[in-house]
Amino acid sequence: MIRVTGILFAILLLTIPAPPGQAQQQDGLSLPSIVVRETLRPETGAVVGQRVALYVDVLFPDEMPMPPRLAPPEIPGAQVFRFESQATTMSERIDGRDHVGQRFEFAVYARRGGELTVPPVTVTVIDRAQNIIGEVHGSAVTLRIDVPEGLDAFKPVVASRRVRMSQMWTPDPATVLKPGLKPGDALKRTIRREASDVPGLALQAPELSAPEGVRIYADPPQIDDSISRGEVTGRRLDQIVYVFEKEGSYTLPAMTQAWFDLSEKVARMETASAVTVNVVAGPAVSAGVNPGVAQERSLSRAQWAMLAALALGLAAVVVIISKYWWRLQASWRKWHSIRLSSEKTIFKELERACLTGDAHVTYRALKTWTMRCEQGGMRPDTSQEPLHGLVSELESALFRPNPTPEAWTAARGGLLADCLRSARRIMLARSVAPLAGSALPLLNPARQIPPGSG
């Protein structure tokens, strides 16, 4: 009886799942033996607005079972981007033992002077079965950030080796200066900026101001970042429309972009120059004609013509509706259903969801739009930064072991909406690109001869 009980007890032990610590030993992996190393480049002499590279090395003894996961660190007083979506594989010999792993690179842009502290990063370790087996942490690193003389650190500062700025007016003010504009006319101002090693989101938003008597409207900025041989080029396009309400002379202000030249170590200023336009009254009435009589006759004839056209139009509408009411109603329901399920409508819902600052609402809207794009044969590219980092941040706030959806804010949602607009433009441009070759069948296809008939 004792022997049978012992056998049953041994079988029971074999059926009990092994605890996480034992699973790690079976994989030959011990969390304390993983090396996590954080370094900053440059180590000294960085200025506000300059790109500082944060390298995070994760090294496993002997072999790496699966690539680890690493979320961008949250650094107070700085923006963090990850432009390279793929980590770099590396190997190193530490304490006489071979280690292999990956290097993750983040771009850190300090937005204030003083001491910048990068907190310990959290690395999620995964085994060969795609199971999370634990977390390891790095060590905090610090860097002194200087504020160069001549720059206002309370405004967004750009530190780069090359910054370009240009503007275009539509119509060209030089062509309308002599005759002048009329009340109700508008001028469109397009400002383009480009900076090396700086993301487009870091470029300063234009100051929207205009003299009294001028209404001003601004479109959302268009951000377009590109990477070539590891160097980031940020681009920002702003479009502003000025509408003149009354006659007069108006000077539309200049716009500037302050930046620090890392090559010459000097503060510089790029300027989109101001322009002065004249707004004049409409043309005078021709001489020899009584203005009151002419205006009365013209208005009377116009009113009769308008009433006649309106009556004919209403009669036609009544006939069409009475004859084709059910068909029109069915067509309208079909059109309305298609419109509600269109990619454009769903993307507008996604933009509104981003601005709510609600992580759950934003994530559901993002998934709905992604699925709609895939149904239409399109796929948005979310691997580019900063879009990839923002999506990872949203997912982390919702699905990490201790979710913190309240950490997702409307400001982060606004950045996500800007990045999604850029990704959508690229996706739509690719979807309408001409296909290689011709999709038309041959006009005179060769007749196929059955084998052996010749």
Tell me: do 247 and 141 sit in the same domain.
no
Amino acid code (one letter) for 164? R
Q: What is the pLDDT of residue 103?
A: 93
Peptide bond into 119 cis (omega under 30): no
Distance separating alpha carbons of residues 258 and 156, to the nearest angstrom: 9
First to last CA, the chain: 87
Tell me: do 175 and 137 sit in the same domain.
no
Q: Is residue 43 part of a domain?
A: yes
Which of 282, 274, 287, 259 has the alpha carbon at shortest distance from 194?
A: 259
Tell me: do 275 and 186 sit in the same domain.
yes
Amino acid code (one letter) for 69? R
Q: Is residue 290 part of a domain?
A: no
Q: What is the pLDDT of residue 40?
A: 93
Q: What is the pLDDT of residue 300?
A: 58
Q: Is residue 257 part of a domain?
A: yes
Tell me: do 53 and 138 sit in the same domain.
yes
Q: Is residue 308 part of a domain?
A: no
Other Cβ atoms closer than 10 A to 98 = 13
Other Cβ atoms closer than 10 A to 228 = 7
Q: Say if residues 369 and 347 touch (Cβ distance below 8 Å).
A: yes
DSSP letters of 199-263? -GGGSPPPP----TTEEEEEPPPEEEEEEETTEEEEEEEEEEEEEE-SSEEEEEPPEEEEEEETT
Q: What is the pLDDT of residue 177?
A: 61
Tell me: do 105 and 202 sit in the same domain.
no
Tell me: do 162 and 258 sit in the same domain.
yes
The strand pair at 255-261 and 158-160 is best described as parallel
Tell me: do 191 and 131 sit in the same domain.
no
Domain ranges, residue 215:
158-279
Is 19 in a helix, a strand, or coil? Answer: coil
Q: Is residue 153 part of a domain?
A: no
Q: Is residue 448 part of a domain?
A: no
> What global pTM score does this model have?
0.51
Tell me: do 179 and 128 sit in the same domain.
no
Which of 261, 279, 297 is at the close of a domain? 279
Q: Is residue 179 part of a domain?
A: yes
Tell me: do 163 and 272 sit in the same domain.
yes
Tell me: do 125 and 169 sit in the same domain.
no
Instruction: Residue 79: give its domain's CATH number.
Output: 2.60.40.740
Distance separating alpha carbons of residues 1 and 11, to the nearest angstrom: 16
Q: Say if residues 39 and 59 touch (Cβ distance below 8 Å).
A: no
Which of 121, 146, 171 is at the close of a domain? 146
Is 82 in a helix, a strand, or coil? Answer: coil
Tell me: do 167 and 234 sit in the same domain.
yes
Q: What is the pLDDT of residue 191?
A: 95
Distance separating alpha carbons of residues 169 and 293, to the nearest angstrom: 41
Q: Is residue 383 part of a domain?
A: yes
Give the pLDDT of the chain (454 residues) as one tens digit per residue.
Answer: 445 445 444 444 444 443 333 333 334 467 878 999 999 999 888 998 899 999 999 999 999 989 999 888 888 888 888 877 678 899 999 989 999 999 999 999 988 888 999 999 999 999 888 899 999 999 999 999 998 887 777 777 889 999 999 999 988 877 766 667 889 889 999 999 999 988 888 888 888 888 999 999 999 999 988 887 778 899 999 999 999 999 999 999 999 998 999 999 999 999 999 998 889 886 533 333 344 433 444 445 677 788 888 888 888 888 777 777 767 677 767 776 676 678 888 899 889 989 888 988 998 889 888 888 888 788 888 888 888 888 888 888 888 777 888 888 888 888 888 899 888 888 888 876 544 444 444 444 444 444 444 3
Q: What is the pLDDT of residue 143?
A: 92
Distance separating alpha carbons of residues 78 and 307, to the nearest angstrom: 65
Name the domain count of the chain. 3
Q: What is the pLDDT of residue 155?
A: 76
Tell me: do 69 and 164 sit in the same domain.
no
Helices 387-399 and 410-431 pack at an angle, to 10 degrees, of 130
Is 393 in a helix, a strand, or coil? Answer: helix
Which of 105, 124, 146 is at the close of a domain? 146
